[in-house]
Amino acid sequence: MQKELVILGAGESGVAAALLAKAKGIPVFVSDSSTIAERFRAELTSAGITFEEGGHSRDRILAAAEVIKSPGIPDKVALIKDLDHAGIPVISDIEFAARYSKAHIVGITGSNGKTTTTLWIYHILKVAGIDATLSGNVGVSPCRQLADRDPAVFVMELSSFQLDRMYRTRVNTAVLTNITPDHLDRYDYKFENYLNSKLRILQNQGEGDRFIWWTGDAVMKEHFRPELTPASKVPFSLGSVEQCSAVQSVEVQDALTHLGLSNGDDCQLCCKANGGKTSSAIINGDSLHIEFEGKVLDVQLDKVALKGRHNLCNAMAASLAALSAGASPEAVAEGLASFEAVEHRLEPCGEVDGVLFINDSKATNTDSAWYALDSMTRPVVWIAGGTDKGNDYRVLEDLARSKVKALICMGVDNSKLIKAFEGVVSTVVSTASLDDAFRAAIENASSGDVVLLSPACASFDLFKNYEQRGKLFKEKVKELL
């Protein structure tokens, strides 16, 4: 008798994996410790898939041939430890899907910017008329698509939790937006563990693949090594000076020697490591300059849909990845101009009596909050707080001191946030609900200010997730309009 495939967690990733398993004739059992959402329960029932909710049948699970784990389940959970100890393979839905796909996989990871970059890549590919599916941490699980058919391209946002349980998946175009401390509570509060998780996106690449990365990322400057991947290295940079200083790795030194160039040569020649053809993106004056394996594209910065330095990084990464997946330069230029902002990420949601309200609920770590504060041009009433993930708020001190007129702390425990910013921001208010935080923000805001929800923390103390936090904030703003 064939052993079962067991799936832990009946959300999108788990149910989609179950549907794919059913389509492939694999015996499958779904187990969720909580109540399953009605739409997912209906899908499982309709497909004739056996499931349980409100607890786990431990003996049945430990008899599995293989287990697919929801990325939201930590490895430190006793059941996962027992599975690992028993030698039963525990994988992600991404790993399972990759077994049944011949698609070109564009994988995007990083601490910040990955959702915007993922959606932007997908948008450009659709403009280009390419058969692409949005999947991974946004969109649907690739398993759901594969239960029907295999597309030409999968555009996958990959969280560190998904990468942790990926072993043989080959990411043809890997994008690493940046690496800063995040989710350290899931990695024994050791940054090197989190870093190694992110770098798993490169683990199965070949010479025909591409690795797209930001040369301005301090962590990658320190840890970049040519042997991380045999793929072509495709850097992007906010400026030519930064690129020249950042990309002087052993790999680029070898490339320069091979091409008969030296460190003093034109910055745009620094990355001619792919058959003598430049593959890179930089900011060149008032334009975004992209070269990819013989294709050249210049786009005026004022034509790029999203503003801010961080979004220029996202735009360059998206452009290079889309070109790698087959988009034309013309489609890239059109897609850069026509893309719309991501919900909950620096999302303007109304202006009342001269006060602009911005929903940046997706900023669940200090680095995301840094980009938000850095992009503000008005005095800021900043709403922050939530479930702390081992944050070091010192990185925000200079921006808070120069840009924030009032900090509204919103959380069950605001003590760490208050301690970090008392004496840095003149007004610090502690609240324990969105209603109180919103009221305090209005009381401290004047015409010409911005009320910025950029929590720098997870949402789980007061909300189900960052989406609920952002939607409730927007509802509050609508009440004022």
Return the closest-CA partner of residue 360 out of 225, 456, 432, 239. Answer: 456
Is residue 254 scored above 50 in pLDDT? Answer: no
Q: Among 102-111, 176-185, 222-231, 412-421, whose mean pLDDT is lowest?
A: 176-185
- Decide if pLDDT at 251 tops 50: no
More confident residue, 313 or 271: 313
- Among 287, 315, 338, where does a domain finish? 338
CATH number for the domain spanning 314: value is: 3.40.1190.10
Average pLDDT of the residues in 102-116: 91
461 occurs within a structural domain: yes
111 is an annotated ligand-binding site residue: yes
**Same domain, yes or no: 276 and 375:** no
CA–CA separation, 217 and 232 (whole Å) = 19
Task: Please report the pLDDT score of residue 314 as a whole number.
Answer: 93
* Interatomic CA distance for residues 430 and 417, integer angstroms: 9
Give the DSSP letter of residue 422. B
Same domain, 233 and 323: yes
Amino acid 240: pLDDT:
52
Check whether residue 427 and residue 467 sit in a common domain: yes
Q: Are residues 123 and 58 in the same domain?
A: no
Confidence of residue 277 (pLDDT cuts 50, 70, 90): low
Q: Are 351 and 248 in contact (CB under 8 A)?
A: no
In this structure, the answer to whether residues 161 and 255 fall within a common structural domain is: yes
Task: Name the average pLDDT for the chain.
Answer: 88
Q: Which residues pair with 295 in a beta bridge?
A: 292
62 and 184 housed in the same domain: no
Which of 91, 117, 151 corresponds to the end of one domain? 91
pLDDT at residue 372, as a whole number: 85
285, 397: one domain = no
Rounded Cα distance between 221 and 176, Å, is 13
Task: Say whether 220 sits in a helix, a strand or coil.
Answer: helix
More confident site: 180 or 17 = 17
pLDDT band at 113 (very low <50, low <70, confident <90, very high): confident
Report yes or no: 70 and 33 within 8 Å, Cβ to Cβ: no
Please provide residue 18's backbone torsions phi and psi, each rounded to the nearest 5 degrees: -65, -40
* 112 annotated ligand binder: yes
The number of folded domains in the chain is 3
107 shares its domain with 60: no
Phi, psi (degrees; rounded to nearest 5) at 214: -90, 120
Q: Is residue 290 part of a domain?
A: yes
CA distance 61 to 29: 9
Q: Are residues 202 and 67 part of one domain?
A: no
Whether residues 169 and 247 share a domain: the answer is: yes
In this structure, of 350-354, 357-361, 437-441, the range with the lowest mean pLDDT score is 350-354
- 414 is an annotated ligand-binding site residue: no
Residue that is last in its domain, among 288, 320, 338: 338
Residue 471 domain-assigned?
Answer: yes
Q: Which domain holds residue 438?
A: 347-480
Question: How much is the pLDDT for 88?
Answer: 98
Q: Is the model more confident about 316 or about 371?
A: 316
> Which CATH number belongs to the domain containing residue 384 in this structure?
3.90.190.20
Same domain, yes or no: 298 and 368: no
CA distance 329 to 123: 14
pLDDT above 60 (res 164): yes
Find out whether 216 is annotated in a ligand binding site.
Answer: no
Q: Following CA atoms 168, 170, 174, 179 in sequence, which dihedral angle do they give, to the nearest 10 degrees? A: 0
Q: pLDDT at position 249, please? A: 37
Is 96 contained in some domain? no
> Which pLDDT value is given to residue 131?
98
- Predicted confidence at residue 1, as pLDDT, reads 64
Q: Is residue 287 part of a domain?
A: yes
Same domain flag for 114 and 256: yes
Q: Count of alpha carbons within 13 Å of 51, Cβ hemisphere only?
A: 30
Q: What is the pLDDT of residue 114?
A: 86
pLDDT above 90: residue 195: no
CATH number of the domain that residue 64 is part of: 3.40.50.720
pLDDT at 181: 66
Q: Does the annotation list 115 as a binding residue?
A: yes
